[in-house]
Amino acid sequence: MAEAHQAVAFQFTVTPEGIDLQLSHQALKEIYLSGVRAWKKRCARIRNNIVTGVYPASPSSWLFVALTVVGTMYTRVDPSMGMIGKIKEHLPVKRCLSHQGQNIMSALLFATVLWLALIYMMRQILKTLLSYHGWMFEEHGKASNMTRIWFTMVKIFSGRKPMLYSFQASLPRLPVPTIQDTMQRYLESVRPLMNDEEFHRMEALAKDFEVKLGPRLQWYLKLKSWWATNYVSDWWEEYVYLRGREPIMVNSNYYAMDFLYVTPTPIQAARAGNLTHALLLYRRKLTREEIKPSTLPGLPVPLCSSQWERMFNSTRTPGQETGKTAHLSGKLLLLYATGERVNVWLEEKLQAWRKRVGWVVLWFPPSVPHQDSTHTSPRGGGGRIPWGKARKSFFSNGKNRSSLDCVEKAAFFLTLDGDKPGLQVEDPVKSLDAYAKLLLHGKCYDRQVAVGWFDKSFTLIVFENGKVGLNAEHSWADAPIIGHLWEYVLATDSFQLGYNDQGHCKGDAESTVLSPQRLQWDIPEACQEVISGSLKVAQSLANDVDFHTFPFTKFGKGLIKKCRTSPDAFIQLALQLANFRDKGKFCLTYESSMTRLFREGRTETVRSCTIQSSNFVRAMEDHLSASECLKLFHLAAKTHQHISRLSMAGCGIDRHLFCLYVVSKYLGVHSPFLQEVLSEPWSLSTSQTPLQQVELFDLLNHPEYISCGGGFGPVSD
């Protein structure tokens, strides 16, 4: 357990003359400042809750309504149509007020009720407006008059200066598609994957389900959609993520890369110091809800912000059957490095943290199996069941329990790595492959290895040559959320904090920042055996992962848009063509689409292999004329855009089928159709996350500040 008893508020000794009290003014000053900061945070939270609670109105609008109502009383006009008089008759404190005071109090109470009613009405109007998605299906650049009016109304009722969670109460609920629509779209999606006999068999199963069992299961989903905020998200998190028993390394976690062509400083400790500072700046903005709510690019349509809530101080904990995501509070930071790296990083950190934050840094020495038990820490790269058993057996009391508490309360995890990855011009593919593997799983004993580091919400990895990256746990949020954080951090590091001419952090050292404290573990031989077994599982999994990462510079989305084609559809059709040429057949293809137009929405699947895309691929393989291929290409691209928009609008296939399957399991009924659908393998997974905050990077003047993005492990063998 990290102990920090270097400072005390006062000392006293007993003398013959009495008690000699020696006050430490510096310590008392720090105690006073800590209390002031704590109360400021409490007041800020109260203010934020009030502002968010009355949005899209503002607290100051109450004053306008109150003054208007009170003012009309002096013109002998009753805007309440007798309500103020009724309130006056039943005032509980009327005996304590004068006649004039009773009138004003009654008017203020009426004004408050009227103000709240107006807020509710505005919020319901905005929710109704946001429930309309017809604009999504109109041709780009040719908005109808109805859509223009709709956009104007959304802008009017969206209010001014929204905070991060301002729109949450105004977002509509995710609708449950009809059984008929889902069956029809499902059959269309699997037609290219089956021959006639297989398709007719599946068609019969679907029709039988639609008529018999489907309506019964659908009734329960409808009931849940009326009662719960989102009928999918809690089950999706529980059954897809938390109940998974395989290692989450490679199978679930994903990574994000640094700039491809730029390294702001080659000094590892300096880069770690600045990035830590940038992450804490983002955390402060998040705590104050100062982050602008996300909207669709170029449109005033808000997206759900609920996934931001568990970004920091969150940990995924294992269990025998299922795990959970714990979100705690604390001012701890986890650091994994050798003692020498810790000291060098601390010197840079003192300069990078140009504000007093009072964070306690917890330091973990590198751990090797069977070394001194006080220095060894258990690995979490193996399966969830062994890790859950080990957690219960060896980490439920004593120093291990105390250290584990520190781990789970920490804001995030920082690794100082001894490797030197990055793009090498002479061999770009091999160098980027190695870089990606280091971010995805490392060497399995030098990454997030102690106590299931892959369980932390995210890990910042800083390499010896100054390159960086992130590894993120998936259950608490999807990639666009961590992408938003990563964009801010990289931009703040390069364009705001910066480095001096020698590559060190700018600013003067802060002498009051506490030194890192070393966590202690008691690892008996039985636990070390579990550690070694987990390490073997993790290494086997990591060795089975192949990467092929490369920079593509011949053209980008600008050229594709000039051809009046969706860049996403272009890439998806290219992948279908490449996959068919590689395997000689079509396969079930997964592309993720967000459903954050709805409250607590996460993702939906876009089944990119369609009848139209397969027709285009066959035309290319049969060497039809360019005009015929181009015609089929545009039709396939248009179809892909349409099914992508359906997914965003809550009319997707897979989340509905998934929830129907969950209900069938709860009811104990067997569905051959659902069983077969949910067991179909996704052989091709093509998810991606676009840049969200282009304005942070000024790519026009600094085109070199681009990244390879990120990646994830394969979804099937």
Look up residue 620 and give its two tokens. 């290319």
| Distance between CA atoms of residues 440 and 454, nearest Å | 10
Secondary structure E strands in 444-528 = 458-462, 468-472, 517-518
Is-catalytic flag, 375? no
Q: Among residues 277, 441, 474, 656, which one is catalytic?
A: 474
DSSP state of 174: P
Judge residue 287's burial from the number of C-beta atoms within 10 Å of its C-beta, 0-12 exposed, 13-18 middle, 19 or more buried: middle
The pair of structure tokens assigned to 166 is 């301002």
Total Cβ atoms within 10 A of residue 470: 22
Q: Choose among 449, 310, 299: nearest CA to 387.
A: 449
What are the beta bridge partners of residue 469? Answer: 257, 461
Phi, psi of 523 (to 5 degrees): -110, 100
Place of tokens 């639609």: 210
DSSP state of 706: -
**Residue where the block lists tokens 């329990």:** 401
Neighbours of 504 (CB within 10 A): 18
Cβ burial, residue 115 (10 Å; 0-12/13-18/19+): buried
Alpha-carbon gap, residue 674 to 619, rounded angstroms: 33
Quote the CA–CA distance of 621 and 615 in Å, as a whole number.
10
Q: In angstroms, rounded to a whole number, what is the distance separating the alpha carbons of residues 563 and 85?
A: 68
Q: 268-287 vs 479-492: helix axis angle to the nearest 10?
A: 120
Pairing of strands 458-462, 324-327: unpaired
Note the maximum CA span of the chain.
108
Q: How far apart (Å, rounded) are the C-alpha atoms in residues 669 and 661? A: 10
* CA–CA dist 549, 664 (Å, integer): 41
Which residues are catalytic, by number? 474
